[in-house]
Amino acid sequence: MRSVFERVGLRCRRGLYLIHRWLGIVACLLFVLWFVSGLVMMYVRFPALGEAERLAGLPALDLAQAQLGPDQAWRAAGLPGWPASRLWLEMMVRADGGAEPVWRTRDAAGRPLTIAATDGRLIESVDVARAAAIARAFAGGAPVRHLETRERDQWTMPNANAFEALRPLHRFAVEGGAGLELYVSARNGEVVRDSSRFERGWSWLGTLLHYYTYAVLREQPMLWRQTVLWTSGLGIVAALSGLIVGWWRLRVRRRYRGGAVTPHRGWKAWHHLAGVTGGVFVLTWVASGWLSMTPAGLLARQGPSTAALAAYAGERGAFPWPPSLAPAAAAGLREVEAWRFDGQAMLLLRDARGERRSLRAVDGRVAVVTREAVAAAAHRLMPGAGLARMTLLTEADRYWYSRRQPLLLPVWRVEMNDAAASWLYVDPANGRLVASSNRDARLRRWLFNAAHSLDFPWLIPHRPAWDGVMWVLSLLGLVVSASGVLIGWRHLRRRRG
């Protein structure tokens, strides 16, 4: 007679079989969609306006027209104090096709501010006529057609936090531009997004399918978030139960009839063996996707406060204007950012190719930022923490790397000894704080970036090898999930019959 423990064990075992069978039917269908869309996302990104594209689309900067420097423009607009966020000068196209220099920044509440550098007036709305001129200039003079003006559409929902305050958006079609569409802010005239027919078409099978970012769902943030959390959570349970059941049924020593290691035949055998082989990858992949949604605030990102960033920059004296730039330095500029650090007024110059230079505003010479100044700024940013170590990184490492965008190098990594073990990344050319991380962020780097995208230091620099590993593992996951869908479909048909 079986003991109580044996009966309980058998019931638990049978329960696990049933959980995997019924959850697996739904989960395997989701896995098929996720793996297919993930492969698409490796090569086609969701429409987004890159920094290089944005700079290339701006008119050449005419500094001679900028009568008001950052201090004068700020006062002329009747705004208190110096902004804590980025402050930069660029040319903004007028409705007549000309252009005027404007200072752009955000106020303390994150609202966009655009101030004319000619007379200090605030530009708080942009009509269709001026937006059309902006879009036409951005597209290199190609004709544009106004499609609509609205708050949101399918292509401005994901990854849109950076321009949320710039809505509503004017949408324009560029004639003869491979289905190119441009979005121009109706608040300040910034071009915030571009999309091509190719990107939009593949995104239906890529990003939209992978993250459920269809407008009808994404417009309801809480419902969308819960949908992602619960479906990926279901996938975790299905993958874990399948991995356990698969190992229970696998026989390597005492094999089944005919020397088989699995009791199954046909698609069930494929599902069993592929699940045992790739089940760990499927489990870690779906679990890392679940973690990316920061359930219950787990591993959520947190950056320095506005007040801390203001303290980091240090004393703020008068900003010299007009700047003393040599003609060669001013040629080809698209943007000039005003920045103060360690008592120096600096200009961060960017040209149409995105190349950057950091010069002192007072004399146009190359800015000098010392190690001691960076350390002092770190203490101002985090006054209660000490400095553990400073390292000048000249190449990518485990935490400072990029797969898509150009990586800033060299860069100071300033390690603080606060409770969160914060790290600060500082541009040695101008002292700007370009990124920060803490213990949770670095843990997230392994639990999500490494587990989900295979961002391993030994694999990232070798893109063909990374592609190959991703394809092999994704195809293995597709075998597991597609066979599971087929098995589940046959099982449901038999029950229905």
Identify the DSSP state of 295.
Answer: G
pLDDT, residue 158, reads 65
Looking at residue 76, its pLDDT comes to 83
Q: Residues of the chain whose pLDDT is less than 70?
A: 1-2, 4-6, 8-9, 158-161, 328, 497
The pLDDT of residue 497:
64
Q: What is the pLDDT of residue 149?
A: 96
- Measured between alpha carbons, how far is 152 from 215 in angstroms, rounded to an integer? 8
* Residue-wise pLDDT tens digits, 336-370: 999 989 888 999 999 988 888 999 998 888 988 99
- pTM assigned to the model: 0.90
Tell me what pLDDT residue 15 has: 79
3 state SS of 144: strand
Q: Where are the beta strands (DSSP E) in 244-355?
A: 333-341, 344-351
Helix H or strand E encompassing 102: strand 99-106
Which pLDDT belongs to residue 355?
A: 87
- Residue 130 corresponds to which tokens in the numbers above? 């001026």
Q: What are the CB-based long-range contacts (under 8 Å, 24+) for 46-51?
A: 46/158, 46/159, 46/199, 46/203, 46/206, 46/207, 46/208, 47/155, 47/193, 47/194, 47/195, 47/196, 47/199, 47/200, 47/203, 48/159, 48/193, 49/191, 49/192, 49/193, 49/194, 50/405, 51/354, 51/405
Element (H, E) at 452: helix 451-453
